[in-house]
Amino acid sequence: MSKRKNPSGNNTLEKKVNLREVKGSNKATPWWPVVAAVLITFLCFTSALNNKFVNWDDDRNFYENPLVQHIDEKNFGENTKTIFSTGVIGNYNPLPIWTFAIEKRMFGFDKPYYWHLNNVLLHLICVFLAYRIALFLGIGWRGALLTALLLVFILCV
């Protein structure tokens, strides 16, 4: 600490604030909780990789969606713009629809494994990001781990 006069003439004490002290820990954040969260999530969803498409909403999301059906090099930019500015079956979910269009172009409809793999990988990225955001908010690694593991409980990936 050092004494310094401020413009009003009063002596003030200044101290640099260490954010780790404010959050209550001087220890480094352990790396294993995020690895555990990603691994547990992956293990929970590996059985999805060998599944086929379902008839719940896949028909409207990509079989009957012209933005997914007819994407190619010529209209990729225009289709991408339209995907990110419209909804499908009452929902605004452009990232999944956009990845469906790319997957359809790369793999067609006869290889659902790659579609499911892409969705699981995107979900694992979300688990990692949820953990990091929770840490950033000062929850601590235990709270961040719980936050990340809550993403295991999802309707579908």
Residue percentage of the chain with pLDDT more than 90: 45
pLDDT band at 10 (very low <50, low <70, confident <90, very high): low
Does the pTM surpass 0.75? The reply is: no
Residues whose CB is less than 8 angstroms from the CB of residue 129 and which lie 6 or more positions away in sequence, other chains included:
none
pLDDT digits (tens, 9 = 90+) for 56-106: 778 788 888 888 888 888 888 999 999 999 888 888 989 989 999 999 999
At residue 138, the pLDDT reads 92
Which range has the top average pLDDT, 8-12, 121-125, 147-151?
A: 121-125
